[in-house]
Every structure is written in structure tokens, then in C-alpha cells.
Amino acid sequence: MERPHLKLPPWAKSLSARLLVLTVSFVMLAEIFVFAPSVARFRIDWLKAHLDSGYLAALALEATPDQMIPDDLEKELLSNAGIEAVILRREDRKLLLQRDDMPAKVDKDVNVTDFSIPMALMEGLSTLSQTGDRMLRVVGMPSMAPDFEIEILVHEESLTEAMRNFGWRVFGLSLMISFFTAGLVYFALNRLMVRPMRTLTRDMIRFRENPQDKSSVITPGLRDDEIGVARQELAIMQQDLQAMLNQRRRLAALGTAATKISHDLRNALATSMLMTEQLAKSEDDEVRAVVPRLLSSMERAVYISEQTLSFARETPPPRDLARFTLIELIEEIRDQILLQKSEPLLDGAVGENPDGKMPCTARIEIDLPDNVMLEADYDMLFRAFSNLIRNPLEAGADLVSITHSITNGLEELGESDEPRSFIEVSISDNGPGLPEKAIKNLFVPFAGSGRVGGTGLGLAIARELISTHHGDLRLVATGPDGAVFLVKLPFIA
């Protein structure tokens, strides 16, 4: 199935645009918490300023000899102060200035000396949202004469208008600061993070379009931060992926070739086996002695060809499930190996010649329960355990011990929620152990062979077959005293 061609998103949907919007939004959100206290403080300062203006107007009245001034001058003083009336209280007298002869009706009293932050915030927001005009009586002490109390009457509409003008100035300044800050943050983060991420994404898309092109591998760069480490790790991953793809391509080509070779080889061997059967009827003892060796070589050629073809498949072969006990499987493998001829058959098991001249010296000791029932493909597991038991005998071991341990209902099998029981089969030997090269490439096809002439497919195929049955194969230990492999398989409890 063809995958869609991916492209980088347009700028409006990119990380850059989202970063810019988020930065402006966060700065404006911070400015909201600054705006309310600023407006509340402006209201208090505005009222105090008008108290001072009213005090100055009252001083003009007090400076006259008879404390009387013309009505026009009185109205001008109050108009310049922006108030309707002012009352200055002395110890022995009270001075009054007002625009009209009739005193104005007071709608709200405000005492600027009684100050608290919550009250100032609520009063400020109330004044800012006021739609009508109220007459405020403001009581406080002017800054120029803190010992005297003064009262003024002022229209709240003037205060509301002044606060709104101040609010718009604060909003405009906040907006400028937000965009300026957002611009700095945006360009900094865009250069440090967004642009490298876009470059990284573009390189990943290019690699995805043609993963086998070596020029599409990401260049790590000199950065040592998280993005630099990500580029380095991605470059290593792409290199490993290319190596894996090249290997799978070779395996695919090998599988195709093996299919043709196997077909042609079977035809050639069919003729060879007919000729061999004729040789078996020869009266010459030396000729008859050669026949088993010829058959062994032919069977080995067919086995290697089929083994290579089987591993080259992209998916494991379908399983033919059956129920059988584990011990009968292992005992049949042991009997087959020990009954082999003295020369290597297939993978080279050591056995006894029909004439009894070369008795088998190898021992395969089995310690398995007779009630462990498996539901698996008999031939697949036969092939997997055969490889594991034959390999140490071919490497020079003369003793292979097969032991077990059981875990009951502690693990889950695949995607099923049903707990299963597992048996762990330990296969140990007294051989020379595995060479270092084989350990590093233990389950890597064509690279993990521990003997000269080996294909390195035995363990790789064994692991794949066991994994097909939801099991596991791993090397537990190896050294000059031998090696220990562990096979883990689910069984029917």
C-alpha cells in the first residue's frame, strides 16, 4: 500500500505560528494581572490630586481678609480644580466653596484614608464599568496639609472617563510590550528550536522517501543539547536501518536464488539417488561403503538449501498445531542424533556406524517431566531443538544436559489476558563454549556461526521458530566449560 506523501505544514499551522500566538497570549494574560491594580491605583491618585486641588482653592478663600471672594472667581477656582464643592475644616471654623447655591445631592461617599487592596480593586472596577454619572463626596487629607481634613464633591463621570483613557493607554502599552517580548522570544526559540525541528522533520521526510539513499542520512552537526543528541541518535538509527534494509534485500535475492537452486538441486539429486541405489547393489564392499556417505552429502545439500530458503521468507510458515508432550519430542531428537552414522549428517551429529566399529561416545541426558503437554507445531520445535542439541556435539562436546523449571500462571501470552504457564528448558554442554565473534552475532544470520563452514542460520532459525510459538531463546552463559541456552515455551497446565 502506497503511503501518503508528507509535507511540512504551512506557516499558519506551524510551530512558529503557534509559538507566536502563545507568547502574545501569555504576555497579555500577565498584563491582565497588572492592569487591575494599575487602574485601582490610578483612581486613588486621581482622587487625591483633586483633594489637593480643592485644598488650593480653599486657601485662596482663606487668604482674603473677610474670607469672601466674588462668585465668578469662586466658580473659576472650582472649575479649574475639577470639583463641584470643597469644605476645609479647621479647628475653629469651616470654609466652604461651591459652584451652585443649592448643594448637590451626594450619591456615594469615598474615604481615601480608609485604603485596602481588595477594596481598591473592587472600587476601581466598579468605577471603570460605571455607565451613569454619580456625585462622589471624597473625604481625605491633602498631601500639602496632612493635619487637616477636607471634603470635595466631584462627578464620577470625569473619573470614569479618565480611568478609561488610562486603561486604553495601559492596554496599548501592554500590547506593544507583548508583541515586542513575543517577537524576541519567538525569534530566539525559532532559531534555537523550531528551525532545527523543521530541518530535522524535513530530513526525516527525505529519508522516508528513499531510505536506501546514503545521502539522505541526517548529518548530526555540532550541537550538544537535546536536539543535537536527537540528530545524532537519529543518524545512527538511519544508518542501522539502511544496513538492515540492505541485508533484507540481499536475503530476498538469496531467497529467490535459493528457490531456483533448490528446484534444480532436487532434480539433480533425484538422478544421483537413482545412481546411488544402483551402486548399493554392487558386490564390491568398498563401493557399498561409499553409498551412505553419498546419500549423506546429498541430504545435507538439500537441507542447507531448504534452510536458507526458509529463513529468507518474510513471514514464518503457518503452524500445524498438535498436542504432544515435551519429553517425547526431546527423546525422539536424542534417539535420532545418537543413531546417526559416525560421519556428520546434516549439521554433523555424532553416532554409531551400522557395523558397530565406531560406537557413539556422546551422551544426551534428559531431565524433563512426562506430563508437560505442548500445543505447537511438532516439526518446527523438532527442528529448533535439534539445532540446539546438535551444535555443541559438533563443536566437540560429549555431554549435553537438558533440565527444566516451571513458572505457573505468572505471565500472559501475546495479546490474550489469560495467564499461562511456562516451562524453561536449559540446554547445557561441556564443550569449548562459543567464540567471541559468535557471541556478538549470535542470532544474526550468516554471521553467528561458531564453527568453520557453518552458515550461521541454525540459531537464527531456532529463535524464529520458538518465537513463533510465543516463546523465547537466549544464551545464559558460555565459557571454556561449555555453554548454556534457555528455551522458554508456554504449555498446557
Euclidean distance between CA atoms 269 and 339, whole angstroms: 24
Q: Helices marked H in 141-225 — which ranges? A: 156-189, 195-209
- The domain boundary residue, chosen from 165, 180, 195: 180
At residue 382, does pLDDT exceed 70? yes
For residues 245 and 331, membership in a common domain is answered with no
At residue 39, does pLDDT exceed 70? yes
* Domain membership flag for residue 294: yes
* 16: number of Cβ within 10 Å: 20
Euclidean distance between CA atoms 392 and 434, whole angstroms: 9
CB under 8 Å to 294, separation ≥6 — which residues? 272, 276, 279
* Domain membership flag for residue 381: yes
pTM metric for this prediction = 0.45
Supply the range of the domain harboring residue 108: 11-180
Q: How far is CA 224 from the centre of its chain?
A: 20
DSSP code, position 375: E
Q: Could you read off the pLDDT of 7-17 as tens digits, one per residue?
A: 656 767 766 67
CB under 8 Å to 279, separation ≥6 — which residues? 287, 288, 290, 291, 294
Return the CATH number at 215: 1.10.287
* Domain membership flag for residue 362: yes
Going across the sheet that includes 419-429, the strands are 363-366, 399-412, 419-429, 482-491, 472-479
For residues 34 and 145, membership in a common domain is answered with yes
DSSP structure string for 399-457: EEEEEEEEEEEEEE-TT--SEEEEEEEEEEE-S----HHHHHTTTSTTT---STT--S-
Q: Please answer whether residues 346 and 303 qualify as being in contact, where contact means their C-beta atoms are separated by less than 8 angstroms.
A: yes
For residues 303 and 324, membership in a common domain is answered with no
Q: Could you read off the pLDDT of 185-237 as tens digits, one per residue?
A: 778 877 777 778 777 888 888 877 777 777 778 777 777 777 778 888 888 88
Q: Which of 43-52, 314-323, 450-459 has the lowest mean pLDDT?
A: 450-459
* Domain membership flag for residue 201: no
For residues 342 and 435, membership in a common domain is answered with yes
Q: Give me the number of domains the chain comprises.
A: 3
Q: What is the pLDDT of residue 353?
A: 46
Euclidean distance between CA atoms 62 and 87, whole angstroms: 12
For residues 461 and 448, membership in a common domain is answered with yes
